[in-house]
Amino acid sequence: MKKNRLILFSVLVLLLAGGFVLFGKSIFGSLTPVVKYTVLEKSELLKSISTEGLVESDNKVNLFSTLSYPVHKINVNTGDIVTKGQVLSELDTADLQLNIAQLKAELDEMEKNKLNTDAKEIAIQRLELQLSKSAIKSPINGTVTAVYAKEGENRPGLQFVVEDTQRLKIMAKIKEYDVTRIKEGMTVIIKSDSLDGTEYNGKVVKVHPAAVKNEQAETMTVPYIEFISEIEIQQNTELRIGMNARLLIIIDKKENVLSLPYDAVGRNEQGDKVVYALEQNSQNKYVAKEIKVTTGLETDFRVEVISDQLSAGMKIINDASNMKDQMRVDFMDKSIGDQ
């Protein structure tokens, strides 16, 4: 038993004396930290909000009929292009016209007998107004996107939907904590999975002043409060009404700037914002060189760094925590891990 203990003790002494090396690094030596780094480059920096929306027409009309007469003729189909004033359907008004003719005959007789005709004239005016509404006309130039009317059926209500398919917009959903950052005029990058990710340009034209409400006119809070922002599509696209779109609303943008991951920026003992560059000292050993910086535009993942001592191509340590000026460091080869 004593012999075994002696052997074990001897092995431990040898390990301590020899500075046992694991993967090329001494576990009992100076414990030089191994760091990862980012090669500093100038690039575009975007601060943005990602959301989704539905493509709609910027000019849409629902055409209704309030008259209880059967449909005599439908002149269009879904997909037809129509012009302002074009007749889309006509009601069967034979009985209506007969009633008008009968009332007018009665009116003539009453006038001959010098009777009061006010009620009769009002009745005629009411029926003539119905007759004027018996032909449903498109109030805009556009495309028929839905037909609900059916020949022979007597069904007041929605008959047609006509939309301008050239003037499109996107109704975007904005979360409560983002809505105050969005302003009219901001640039929007538009994509749709239906179009293989092709990018289109858009612009914020309106942010609704109240949150989305339910059918009871109460603010919807599940799963969260949302606001609607209207996005104008600023070019000809393959987008179609009803498509889902992915949106990137540009809050701020800078080009040709230096930026780093957030963790690469720290503070020294004096409270200054600093980064640490990999630098060789006089013994050809790598050390962390402290560089004071100011920060600019911040995105979700990166921050702009500004200093006369920074330039493209420098190697900046990814994590500034626990770093000090002129601290001895080793670094992973660029092919290892995330740089």
Rg (CA), the chain: 38
Report whether 295 contacts 238 (CB < 8 A): no
Do 304 and 257 contact (CB within 8 A), yes or no? yes
Return the pLDDT at 9: 55
Mean pLDDT, rounded, of the chain: 88
Point out the least confidently predicted range of 22-36, 185-199, 250-264: 22-36
Whole-angstrom distance, CA of residue 83 vs CA of residue 144: 10
Phi (first) and psi of residue 97, to 5 degrees: -65, -35
Q: How far is CA 128 from CA 71, 96, 158, in A?
A: 18, 9, 22
Question: What pLDDT score was predicted for residue 180?
Answer: 93
Residue 325 φ then ψ, to 5°: -60, 130
Polymer length in residues for the chain: 339
Mean pLDDT within 284-307 = 94
**C-alpha dihedral sign at 245, 246, 250, 253:** negative
Residue 189 has pLDDT above 60, yes or no: yes
pLDDT of residue 20: 39
Q: Which of the four pLDDT bands, split at 50, 70 and 90, describes residue 319?
A: very high
Nearest-angstrom CA–CA distance, 208 and 179? 9
Mean pLDDT of 26-44: 80
Least trusted range by pLDDT, from 8-17, 25-34, 275-284:
8-17
The pair of three-digit structure tokens given for residue 43, joined into one six-digit string: 């690039």
Query: Which pLDDT band, with edges at 50, 70 and 90, does 232 fall under?
Result: very high
pLDDT of residue 122: 94
Closest CA relative to residue 55, chosen from 292, 325, 238: 238
Q: Which residue has the tokens 């006089």?
A: 282
Per-residue pLDDT at 29 exceeds 70: no
List pLDDT tens digits, range 111-164. Answer: 898 889 899 899 999 999 999 999 999 999 999 999 999 999 998 999 999 999
Residue 10 has pLDDT above 90, yes or no: no
What is the model's pLDDT at position 331? 83
What ranges in the chain are assigned the alpha helix state H? 2-18, 94-112, 118-132
Q: Lowest mean pLDDT of 6-15, 188-197, 246-255, name the range.
A: 6-15
Interatomic CA distance for residues 218 and 306, integer angstroms = 48
pLDDT of 26 > 70? The answer is no
Alpha-carbon gap, residue 168 to 232, rounded angstroms: 7
pTM of the model as a whole: 0.71
Res 325 pLDDT > 70: yes
N-terminal to C-terminal alpha carbon distance within the chain: 51
DSSP helix, strand, coil percent of the chain (3-state; round to 5): 20, 40, 40
The C-alpha angle with vertex 327 and arms to 321 and 328, in degrees rounded to 5, equals 120
Q: How many CB atoms are located within 10 Å of the residue 247 CB?
A: 22
Average pLDDT over residues 185-209: 93
Burial of 133 (0-12, 13-18, 19+ CB in 10 A): middle
94-112 vs 118-132: helix crossing angle, rounded to 10: 160
35 touches 338 (CB < 8 A):
no
Residues linked to residue 49 through DSSP beta bridges, in sequence order: 249
Supply the pLDDT for residue 321.
93
What's the Cα-to-Cα distance from 96 to each of 70, 123, 157, rounded to whole Å? 11, 12, 19
Beta-ladder partners of 91: 71
